[in-house]
Every structure is written in structure tokens, then in C-alpha cells.
Amino acid sequence: MKRLWTIIGVSDVSASFKWYQSLLGQSQTSPAHEYFGQLLDSDGTVLLCLHGWGAHEHPSLTSPNHATPGNGLLLFFRVDDFNAALQRARALVTRFEEEPHMNPNTETMEFSVRDPDGYYVTISALSAP
């Protein structure tokens, strides 16, 4: 089995950790470190890693000033509680990038928001309505 660990640079690991936990309907916990945290699914699968900008010498995580955060990246989450995720998102953001709509390619409902660091986040229903 293979797993992808997506790691994004963030300005405040703790705040972003809480934001994603809220969006994904997870229990509130704290990241393992002030500079790094892993959001885990209930079975322990890593959903997303958050890394503080400049915390280590990773060339692509030195600073958000070297490129626009999220350029070329779309965080796309498939969820089994789409309507609940939509309500959680409405509580987290003041503006949606894309309002809920049917994606003709996946034939599922989805919406898109920006996270606190400007990353484009799409939430898609796991299955068609």
C-alpha cells in the first residue's frame, strides 16, 4: 500500500491545524510540534501535513514570499458528510471561492474555499446524491 503525505507551508501551524479540524469535522487536538502537525483520519491515515514556513531547511518551505502560496496546488478532499462539511465551512469563512454545485466530472456536489494561508480547498461529496 502507498500513501501520499501532502505537506503545505503555513504561517501558524496551530491555527491552521484547528481550521482544518473544524472544516473536516474532527475532534480538536493540538499538533505534535509548533512547527509541524499531521491531520489524521479516524483510522490513522494522514490527510494533510502542516509545516511552519522556514522551520527547517526545506527548499520549498522557506518562505511564502518566494511564490504565491497554493499556486499550482489544489487541496481536494472527498468527504462522506458533505452537508455537515458545508455548514462547518460557512462558519469558518466569509466568502466561498465556489458555491456548492454539481461537478460534471465527478458527478458529486462540491464547493471551494480558501484556507487561512490562501490555499484553495475543495470539498467534494464522496458519492453522488
Q: Over range 40-50, report the average pLDDT.
A: 94
Query: Please, which residues bridge with residue 38 across strands?
Result: 49
Helix, strand or coil for residue 64?
A: helix
For the entire predicted model, the pTM comes to 0.87
Q: Which of the residue ranges 21-25, 64-68, 95-99, 102-106 would you say has the lowest mean pLDDT?
A: 64-68
- Pull the grid cell for residue 17: 491545524
Strand ranges (E), 11-126: 36-40, 46-52, 75-79, 98-103, 108-114, 120-125
Helices (H), the chain: 13-23, 82-92
Per residue in 52-72, pLDDT tens?
A: 998 877 777 788 887 776 776
Percent of the chain with pLDDT over 90: 75
**pLDDT attached to residue 1:** 66
Domains, the chain, ordered by start: 7-125 (3.10.180.10)
